[in-house]
A and B are shown apart, each in its own frame.
Chain A
């Protein structure tokens, strides 16, 4: 298992996480359901985490993985607060369609 990047190549990981990140962007643009938008944000965060771990293996440095821990903590906090906001939006409006949220539009 020592020469894993010799066999796979770092560029394959770069391509994989690029496509995964683009899928996340696509989900944010394509769907109106706010929960699916949240899931797309999670996909984007995971794409970046995967690239962090791949480059941590590439440089043989633990700091990339430490950064992934912090980004996991931030993702967990973000999801907890975001879903609480979604629940209160659903209580007030009766739907979580993001096109209904245009109270600030003039």
Chain B
């Protein structure tokens, strides 16, 4: 068992356990903090796959922006633990059963498709440095890149409009 495999197993264990804790913890703030740890370990996976720029972007966007947004919303809402109602037992049982079924079916499908996966060959070509990524992004994917900026602008305007208090005079 090599060192890289051990690192992968530890990171995977952290990812899965914090994802479960995100769902199961009662307090939404604890959920958000567990989700931050989950995102950090996913960034660790990206680093393990040698894509540094993506790991940094993931940290900035997810742990920096999205989780801060989540935490501020949770603070705005003043959620109490007492008035949190759980779903009825039959619904929760159905959720657990469907989770197990989906998991088993998908994993069995992927195990049986294993012979199709070929051997990994490394050619030594540079494909994930910032230079190459910028070339591909601004040459082949120029139009989707501009559309992403329009999407972000529209989302910003929409968020401001939605969260503004209505000033109707009634």
Q: Is the CB of A23 within 8 A of B19?
A: yes
CA distance A40 to B28 in the complex (A): 12
Task: List the 10 closest A-B pairs by CB distance, nearest first.
Answer: A77-B155, A29-B95, A84-B162, A26-B99, A27-B23, A84-B159, A84-B163, A30-B95, A80-B159, A73-B148
B binding-site residues for A, Cβ under 8 Å: 2, 4-5, 8, 12, 15-16, 19-20, 22-23, 28, 31-32, 35, 38-39, 42, 45-46, 48-51, 54, 57-58, 61-62, 65-66, 69-70, 73-74, 76-77, 79, 83-87, 91-92, 94-96, 98-99, 102-103, 106-107, 110-111, 114, 117, 120, 122-125, 127-128, 132-133, 136-137, 140-141, 144, 148, 151-152, 154-156, 158-160, 162-163, 165
Chain B interface secondary structure, helix, strand, loop or mixed? helix
Tell me the complex Cα distance, A18–B106, Å.
7
A69 to B44, alpha carbons, bound, how many Å?
Answer: 17
What are the residues of chain A within 8 A of B123 when measuring CB–CB? 60
The answer, among A25, A36, A60, A80, for a CB contact under 8 Å with B31, is A36
Q: B residues within 8 A CB of A10?
A: 117, 120
Q: A39-B32, A39-B70, A69-B137 are in contact. Are A77 and B128 (CB under 8 A)?
A: no
